[in-house]
Each structure stands twice: as C-alpha cells, then as structure tokens.
C-alpha cells in the first residue's frame, strides 16, 4: 500500500499567499532560498511585501525585528540550520528578548535534507530555539498540520519558530486538523508504553506501534508538535497510565523533544524515557531514506527503544 | 520639551546631559562613561532639534525613530529621554539596578521611548532598516536615525545591513558613526583598522558626510543634508572624542567602560559647572 505524501513547504507557501490576501500587515522575508522554502509564492503575489535579503541571515532576522517593531507581522524563512545557528543571537537579542511578533518558519530541518550533507542538516535547531526564553517551538507532523499551525500562530502575538522539512511527509491528518499551542494529539491510546514523537517521526511511530501491537504490547502514540510549550498534561498522563515512554525525533538526542519530555517526567513522574534521535554525531550525505536507516531513525529503532523502555519499567518494579 | 536650532541652547542642554550621565554612572558604579560622553552632542542635536517626536505619541503614531545601535551609550540616551519627558528624571539614578526601568543596555519593553532593543553590537542598523521598510509600506514620511560605534562596525552584520539599505534605497535611514577611535581593548586602528571608513560606506552606496561630532552647526547641517538626500541612505561619519567634556576622560581608553568614583565625579562636575558658552 502506498502512503500519500505531501510537501510541508508547498503547503506553507500556499498558506502564506492565502493569509497575505487577508492580512495586509503580513510581510515575508527570505535569504536567497525562497524557491526552496516556497516563500517565492508569496513574493510573486505580493512583491511589495516580500523582501529577499540575500545571503545574510543575521541581517534577515534583524530586519524582521525592525519590521515587527514597525507594526508588521513578518514571516521569515530560510533553511533551519542557517536560521537557528547562524542567526541565533539575532533571534535571541533582536526578536525574543523584546518580544517582537516575528514568525520564523524554517524548511530543511533534520537529517532528511539528505545529499547536501551535514553542513545543511539541522539536528540542533529545536534545542537552540527551545532554550531561548519566550520562544515557541512547533514541529508539524504533516502538511495539513503545517497549515493549521501557520494559521494558529497568526493569532498569537510574539516570537514563534516552526520547523518544516525538505522531504514530503506521509499524510496523517485531513484538512480539518486544528492546532493549538501547548496541545498534543493523542493519536492512539495504549496501556504498556507511549511513544511521543514530532515531525516525520510521528508517522514512523504509528508504524512501529502497529508492529509492537502484533507482539501483544499495547502502545500509545502522541503527536507532540508543540514542543514549547509542551502539552504537560498529555505527557504526565502517559507517564502515569503507561509507565514507560519512548521519544522519537529527527534531531539530536540532546536538547530536543526527548530532553523536553525527560525534563518534565523526571521532575514529576519519573518513568523510564528512551530517546530515539541522532546520537550526538555529525551525519553524512545520502538519500533521506538511507540516512534515516543509517542513523537509527526508523521503525526498527523505535521498536528496539520500546523494548528497552519496557525492560527498564520491569526492573523498576522488582 | 522644546525644540531649538539655537546652538548656544543646544550646548547648554548637552552640558546638563553630561552632568546627568556622570551622576547616573557614578550611582550605578558601572557603565560606559567615555562612550556616552562622545555621543551626547549628537543625541542632543537629534532629540532637541531635528527629530519629529514627542513622548505623548503612541507606538503606532507617525514619528521619526531613533535606534542606539551602540547600546552601551545607554546613559546618554536615558538622560536625553528623561529630559524630553519620556519618563521621570528620578529614574536616572536607578540605572543598571535590579528591576529598574533603565537596563544596562536599551530595552524596548522596559523603557518608554526606546524603540528597539540593542546592546549586542551590530544589530541596530538591520532593525533600523526594518523600521524604515515598515514606514515605507505605510506610506509614512519619517526618518529613522541609527547611531553606531566605530568599534561596532567591525561586526559583519553592519555591512549586511549597509548593503540592504542601499539596495532597498532606504533614503529615510540616517546612520551616524560615533567615531571616537577607541574600543575596549585599545585604539580601533590597532585592534582592527576600519579605515578608510567613509570610503567604505560610499562604496556600499551611501551618501556620506564627514563632520566634527561635537560641532552643533555641523551636526545640524549634516542631518538637513541627509534628510534632503533621495534614493540612497545617509551615513554621517562624526569624528568625536571619547570622554568629551571631562578633561581626564578625553581620549583615555580606560574610560570606555568605567564609571566615575566619588572624587572623579566631583572633579568632573566642577569642570562642567559653568554654563556652556565659547568654544565650538
């Protein structure tokens, strides 16, 4: 059976055009990657409100901050590593500290950037953004959730970081999907263990859950697209009800979703949490599929992690 | 507050602002004396003569805007904002203290009149450009002033922003370099030479003027010329003296980021006690 896949960035670009028609305060900035991030769609429709800042990410973020200070609502896009890494300090000082209403929507997050290699893969972006006070961090799991998130953050006044990808993602939700900051989707209830995932790994988590169910293990799956603020009650309920958690993200195991979940559970309901993610290495060039398998971001990795978490859960009881 | 083109009046305001700056720095026990004194004449010229602004206007109201990209000159900005009535003068002596309105560097969320947040060097010009672009989209005829330090232009982002302003023909942007020749570790020319500074800005497509940054006539005329310039942004290379107005601070690098002690304050206030007049 083939799975329907849709491009998050295509849907982002189309949504920007729609919103741009409705709200004249929306401006869009890019740093010479608009044909990849799809902000070019907005630029074609609203050239006066589109600013291609060239290959200058620091200036990109600073200019967006100034536009926000002048009453505009800037959506800023480039590849995730260049936004979160190259311009981290501009995001902290010029955008987050003064609470400027800037929406940073990056594409090419994670490892599935693929053949461009480690220089262009973003495996620290969630961690870097999550550590800045007041920043909201969202990692949508499919194209329809992307649209819902983009629309939702327009109603929120303040800095937001949304991470999209180069690859098309399997479709999980339909057009009626809604998004609310701090709200997770419990996609499946389980009794023995809960997988908490974001982005591309939500679909992989559902696949892994299916396999584990065949072994007679009851698995819950949560889509934690709102990484900051986290849906605390959904995570703590999962910890209380299933007593074991696996996190899965296309990101380093340091500082991302796995860290966020572990921080919350360890201070409240300390259950075993086993993290699936890139294990503190620079990766390689390759196709998205090859990379996901090579760096243990596939279904089998989640199944192995689930067994490990269940073993730890059993040991705690002894 | 009242606006004036009278040079003697502006000099007198500057003299009083220098006193406020030194008193607040002494009270805080830390902060940038030399850097505040080198730019205060420029700030006085902008705020009391050339800029269209008022503390009564709301954020969304039409007005000129000022960005202190060299955020460590905050005491100078705070002294001027208090004098203009953006907040009470009693706040000045809370500079840098816990939960004060007046943070070590300008913070737009806590200090009335502070347009954007600066202090990490190199970030103010991009924000000024953004403000100018927003103004243009709104069809506003207003200027954005941006004060840079000479050491600050060693930051790459300044030149990214310089390119952007010229490319976008942001003629409402008037950037001024407080060119006092000293940075924390020593003379700018020894740390990392920035010359020929005016030629660099001109090569980036800016309308450039060189002036004496303590001569009010030259500052006012340069701003008028910058406002009249169309199709390109303006850069005023204002040659200044670090610590200007206090003899023992002038041109001395240690005063870049040092506050005066009790005796030093007394000595400085003595020098500044006579109403301004004579000289430039």
Round to whole Å and give the CA distance between B216 and A226: 55
Q: Are residues A304 and A197 in the same domain?
A: yes
Q: Are residues A231 and A158 in the same domain?
A: no
What SS3 class is residue A90? helix
Interface mutation target, options B115, B127, B143, B157, chain A, most CBs of A under 10 Å = B127
- In a domain? residue A151: yes
- C-alpha distance from residue A46 to each of A40, A42, A106, A151, B148 (Å): 10, 6, 20, 18, 33
pLDDT, tens digit, 9 for 90 and up, residues B23-34:
999 999 999 999
pLDDT, tens digit, 9 for 90 and up, residues A302-315:
999 999 999 999 99
Look at residue B93 and tell me whether its pLDDT is greater than 50: yes
Per-residue pLDDT at A318: 64
Look at residue B275 and tell me whether its pLDDT is greater than 80: no
Look at residue B279 and tell me whether its pLDDT is greater than 50: no
**What ipTM score was computed for the predicted complex, to two decimals?**
0.96
Looking at residues B162-178, what average pLDDT do you find?
Answer: 98
Which alpha helices (DSSP H) does B181-261 contain, by range? 188-192, 197-203, 216-228
Q: Are residues A191 and A165 in the same domain?
A: no
- In a domain? residue B1: no
CATH number at residue B97: 3.40.50.970
Taking one residue from A and the other from B, the number of pairs with CB-CB distance under 8 angstroms is: 109
* Final residue of a structural domain among A170, A197, A229: A170
- In a domain? residue B2: no
* Final residue of a structural domain among A109, A135, A170: A170
Q: Are residues A17 and A45 in the same domain?
A: yes
Q: Taking CB atoms and an 8 Å cutoff, what residues of chain B touch A64?
A: 130
Interface mutation target, options A70, A75, A96, chain B, most CBs of B under 10 Å = A70
Question: What tokens were used for A278?
Answer: 């890139």
Look at residue B277 and tell me whether its pLDDT is greater than 90: no
**Structural domain count, chain A:** 2
- In a domain? residue A297: yes
- In a domain? residue B121: yes
Look at residue A223 and tell me whether its pLDDT is greater than 80: yes
- C-alpha distance from residue A89 to each of A92, A208, A228 (Å): 5, 38, 19
pLDDT, tens digit, 9 for 90 and up, residues B32-79:
999 999 999 999 999 999 999 999 998 888 999 999 999 999 999 999
Mean pLDDT, chain A, as a whole number?
A: 97
**Residue B193: how many CB atoms within 10 A of its CB?**
11
CB of A93 within 8 Å of a chain B CB? The answer is yes
Per-residue pLDDT at B60: 83
- In a domain? residue A313: yes
Residue identified by tokens 């001024």 is B176
**Structural domain count, chain B:** 1
Look at residue B278 and tell me whether its pLDDT is greater than 80: no
CATH number at residue A231: 3.40.50.920
Active site residues of A: 57
**% of chain A with per-residue pLDDT over 70:** 99
Q: Hey, are the CB atoms on A59 and B164 less than 8 Å from each other? A: yes
Q: Taking CB atoms and an 8 Å cutoff, what residues of chain B touch A98?
A: 107-109, 116-117
- In a domain? residue A177: no
Q: Are residues A17 and A163 in the same domain?
A: yes
Question: Where does the pLDDT of residue B276 fall: very low under 50, low under 70, confident under 90, or very high at 90 and above?
Answer: low
Q: Are residues A233 and A116 in the same domain?
A: no
Look at residue A14 and tell me whether its pLDDT is greater than 60: yes
Which alpha helices (DSSP H) does chain A contain, by range? 8-22, 34-37, 40-45, 57-69, 80-81, 88-90, 125-130, 143-154, 201-214, 232-242, 257-268, 288-294, 299-317
Q: Where are the beta strands (DSSP E) in chain B?
A: 65-68, 144-149, 173-179, 182-183, 186-187, 207-212, 234-239
Can you give the C-alpha Rg of chain B in angstroms? 17
- In a domain? residue B41: yes
Look at residue A287 and tell me whether its pLDDT is greater than 70: yes
* Final residue of a structural domain among A145, A170, A195: A170
Look at residue B88 and tell me whether its pLDDT is greater than 70: yes
Q: Are residues A111 and A34 in the same domain?
A: yes
- In a domain? residue A290: yes
- In a domain? residue B277: no
Looking at residues A138-151, what average pLDDT do you find?
Answer: 98
Q: Taking CB atoms and an 8 Å cutoff, what residues of chain B touch A93?
A: 117-120, 123
CB of A53 within 8 Å of a chain B CB? The answer is yes
The parent domain of residue B118 ranges over: 7-271
Tell me the three-class secondary structure of B92-120, residue by residue.
HHHCCCCCCCCCCCCCCCCCCCCCCCCCC
Look at residue A28 and tell me whether its pLDDT is greater than 90: yes
Q: Are residues A19 and A151 in the same domain?
A: yes
The three-point CA angle A90-A101-B79 to 5° equals 70
Q: Least CA distance to A54: which residue of chain B?
A: B164
Looking at residues A231-244, what average pLDDT do you find?
Answer: 98
CATH number at residue A165: 3.40.50.970
- In a domain? residue B265: yes
Per-residue pLDDT at A7: 98
Q: Are residues A109 and A246 in the same domain?
A: no
- In a domain? residue A178: no
Q: Are residues A145 and A289 in the same domain?
A: no
Per-residue pLDDT at A227: 98
Q: Are residues A72 and A220 in the same domain?
A: no
Look at residue B280 and tell me whether its pLDDT is greater than 50: no
The parent domain of residue A216 ranges over: 185-317
Q: Are residues A59 and A159 in the same domain?
A: yes
């Amino acid at each position: 059976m083939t799975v329907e896949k849709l491009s998050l960035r295509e849907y982002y670009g189309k949504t920007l055009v729609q919103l741009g028609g409705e709200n004249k305060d929306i401006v869009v900035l890019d740093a010479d990657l608009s044909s990849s991030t799809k902000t070019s769609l907005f630029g074609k429709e609203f050239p006066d409100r589109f600013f291609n800042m060239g290959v200058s990410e620091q200036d990109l973020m600073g200019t967006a901050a100034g536009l926000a200070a002048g009453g505009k609502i800037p959506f800023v896009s480039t590849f995730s590593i260049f936004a979160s890494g190259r311009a981290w300090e501009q995001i902290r000082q010029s955008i987050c500290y003064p609470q400027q209403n800037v929406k940073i929507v990056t594409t090419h997050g994670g490892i599935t950037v693929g053949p461009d290699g480690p220089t262009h893969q973003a495996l620290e972006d969630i961690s870097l953004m999550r550590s800045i006070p007041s920043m909201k961090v969202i990692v949508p799991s499919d194209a329809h959730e992307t649209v819902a998130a983009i629309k939702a953050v327009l109603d929120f006044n303040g800095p937001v970081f949304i991470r999209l990808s180069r690859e098309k993602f399997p479709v999980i939700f339909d057009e009626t999907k809604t998004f609310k900051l701090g709200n997770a989707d419990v996609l499946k209830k389980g009794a023995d263990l809960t997988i908490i995932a974001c982005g591309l790994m939500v679909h992989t988590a559902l696949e892994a859950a299916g396999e584990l169910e065949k072994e007679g293990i009851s698995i819950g799956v949560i889509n934690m697209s709102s990484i900051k603020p986290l849906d605390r009650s959904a995570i703590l309920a999962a910890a209380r009800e299933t007593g074991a958690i696996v996190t899965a993200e296309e990101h380093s195991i340091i500082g991302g979703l796995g860290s966020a979940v572990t921080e919350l559970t360890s201070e409240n309901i300390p259950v075993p949490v086993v993290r699936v993610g890139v294990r503190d290495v620079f990766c390689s060039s390759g196709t998205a599929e090859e990379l996901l398998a090579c760096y243990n971001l596939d279904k089998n990795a989640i199944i192995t992690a689930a067994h490990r978490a269940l073993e730890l859960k059993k040991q705690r009881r002894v | 507050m009242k606006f004036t083109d009278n040079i003697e009046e502006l000099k007198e305001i500057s003299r009083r602002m220098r006193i406020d700056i030194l008193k607040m720095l002494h009270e805080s026990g830390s902060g940038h004396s030399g850097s505040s004194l080198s730019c205060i004449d420029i700030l006085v010229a902008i705020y009391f003569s050339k800029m269209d602004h008022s503390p009564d206007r709301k954020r969304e109201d039409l007005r000129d805007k000022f960005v202190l990209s060299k955020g460590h000159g905050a005491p100078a900005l705070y002294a001027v904002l208090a004098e203009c009535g953006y907040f009470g003068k009693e706040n000045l002596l809370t500079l840098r203290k816990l939960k004060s309105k007046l943070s070590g560097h300008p913070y737009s969320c806590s200090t009335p009149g502070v347009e954007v947040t600066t202090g990490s060097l190199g970030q103010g010009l991009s924000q000024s450009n953004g403000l100018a672009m927003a103004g243009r989209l709104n069809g506003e005829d207003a200027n954005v002033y941006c004060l840079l330090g000479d050491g600050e232009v060693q930051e790459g982002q300044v030149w990214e922003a310089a390119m952007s302003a010229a490319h976008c023909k942001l003629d409402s942007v008037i950037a001024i370099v407080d060119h006092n020749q000293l940075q924390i570790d020593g003379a700018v020319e020894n740390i990392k030479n920035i010359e020929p500074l005016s030629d660099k800005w001109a090569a980036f497509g800016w309308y450039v003027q060189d002036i004496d940054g303590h001569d009010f006539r030259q500052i006012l005329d340069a701003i008028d010329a910058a406002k009249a310039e169309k199709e390109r942004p303006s850069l005023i290379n204002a040659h200044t003296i670090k610590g200007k107005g206090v003899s023992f601070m002038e041109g001395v690098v240690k005063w870049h980021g040092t506050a005066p002690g009790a005796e030093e304050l007394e000595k400085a206030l003595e020098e500044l006690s006579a109403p301004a007049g004579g000289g430039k």
